Amino acid sequence: MGAREVGLPDVVGSGALPSRVTIWEVGARDGLQNESVVVPVAVKLEFLDRLAAAGLSVLEATSFVHPKWVPQLADAAELLAGLTQRPGVVYPVLVPNERGLDRALEAGVTHIAIFASATETFASRNLNRTLDSQFEMFEPTVSRALAAGLDVRGYVSMCFGDPWEGPVARSQVVAVGERLLEMGCSQLSLGDTIGVATPGQVESLLEGFRDVSPLAVHFHDTYGQALSNTLAALRCGVTTVDSSAGGLGGCPYAESATGNLATEDLVWMLDGLGVETGVDLDKLVETSAWMAEQLGRPSPSRVVRALSK
């Protein structure tokens, strides 16, 4: 059963929303990185190609993190070597440090992302650095990437809450984001890594970044708030949203982090609001249902479950 067969309700806008939203699809990287059983490269390549065929124009393909820490992505170089890139689609990769950048440059990557922490404890656990010294690692990575003509995105994790430290001060998140921008990052993605945010918090944080553009948001759905938080962000002027096909994902360094916002659930909402994404929902649902079969379990996405019956 597809979206057309179900019949979407009439398209009705709601408040001041952007006319178009760019979906930054993280399923192949953030979605798969926490899987305990290694997914074959051939399956990952087909997943990426299916996502591109569904109309997604930004596909975060993999990460050059050390295989010891994320075994699922140990095949990053092999995957990129086998990837047939579709015209009009960009395939960013996550790089943790200069060694990761070296590998990305060897693979011919044109877009990278770095991953910073807004809290002291997560910086220690995820990066083996202090909150301040993490920037010493990022600075040469970013400067070399920019010199090589690469685009650099900056992720900021634990923006709304930290499982060890609790609530995170807005000023602390803004300070981390501003340092990444000063280094030359072209975009910030503000992450609710453990999924504790609510819309009021989203509006408050974005107010702290009111003079910063462009911003993206990255919500996890631990407490079922990802869609409402996304809508709040869109009303604040955000036009890029991270999501994961089928709602796959988590965080290997934060056990309380559950799946990302499902791309299908996001597209269903945006279609109903009359916000353009360029995504074919039926093809996307077929892709996520297929991937769920490869993983041997049902998709967490409500839209995938509803349209795959």
pLDDT of residue 150: 98
Write down the pTM of the prediction: 0.94
User: Does the structure show a pLDDT above 70 at 20?
Assistant: yes
Per the CB < 8 A criterion, the answer to whether 197 and 217 are in contact is: no
User: Does the structure show a pLDDT above 80 at 255?
Assistant: no
Q: How confident is the model over 133-147, as a mean pLDDT?
A: 97
User: Is 185 a known active-site residue?
Assistant: no
Residue with tokens 């124009």: 57
Tell me: the pLDDT tens digits for 142-186?
999 999 999 999 999 999 999 999 999 999 999 999 999 999 999
CA dist 118 and 173 (Å) reads: 5
User: Which residue from 93, 14, 13 is spatially nearest to 48, judged by alpha carbons?
Assistant: 93
What does the domain layout of the chain look like in residue ranges?
18-304
pLDDT of residue 259: 82
Residue 1 pLDDT grade (very low, low, confident, very high; cuts 50, 70, 90):
low
Give buried/exposed letters for 225-237 (b at 16+ CB in 10 A, else e).
bbbebbbbbbbbe
Tell me: the pLDDT tens digits for 225-242?
999 999 999 999 999 999
What are 1's strand-pairing partners?
none
pLDDT of residue 66: 86
pLDDT of residue 252: 45
Q: How confident is the model over 207-221, as a mean pLDDT?
A: 92
Look up residue 245 and give its DSSP letter.
Answer: G
List the catalytic residue out of 159, 185, 236, 251.
251
pLDDT of residue 257: 46
User: Does the structure show a pLDDT above 60 at 254?
Assistant: no
Q: What is the mean pLDDT of the chain?
A: 93
Token pair recorded at residue 147:
């010199």
Residue 15 pLDDT grade (very low, low, confident, very high; cuts 50, 70, 90):
confident
pLDDT of residue 167: 95
Tell me: the pLDDT tens digits for 38-79?
999 999 999 999 999 999 999 999 999 988 888 999 999 999
pLDDT of residue 256: 44
Look up residue 73 and give its DSSP letter.
Answer: G
Tell me: the pLDDT tens digits for 107-124?
999 999 999 999 999 999
User: Does the structure show a pLDDT above 90 at 214?
Assistant: no
Is the previous residue joined to 214 through a cis bond, with omega within 30 degrees of 0? yes
Tell me: the pLDDT tens digits for 260-272?
999 999 999 999 9
pLDDT of residue 253: 44
CA dist 67 and 79 (Å) reads: 14
Report CA-CA distances (Å) from 200 to 14, 15, 52, 228, 233.
17, 16, 34, 10, 10
Report CA-CA distances (Å) from 86 to 94, 178, 196, 229, 239.
20, 33, 36, 31, 23
pLDDT of residue 6: 67
Topology of domain 18-304 in CATH is: TIM Barrel (3.20.20)
Look up residue 262 and give its DSSP letter.
Answer: B
CA dist 177 and 209 (Å) reads: 9
Residue 308 pLDDT grade (very low, low, confident, very high; cuts 50, 70, 90):
confident
CA dist 260 and 271 (Å) reads: 19
CA dist 39 and 305 (Å) reads: 22
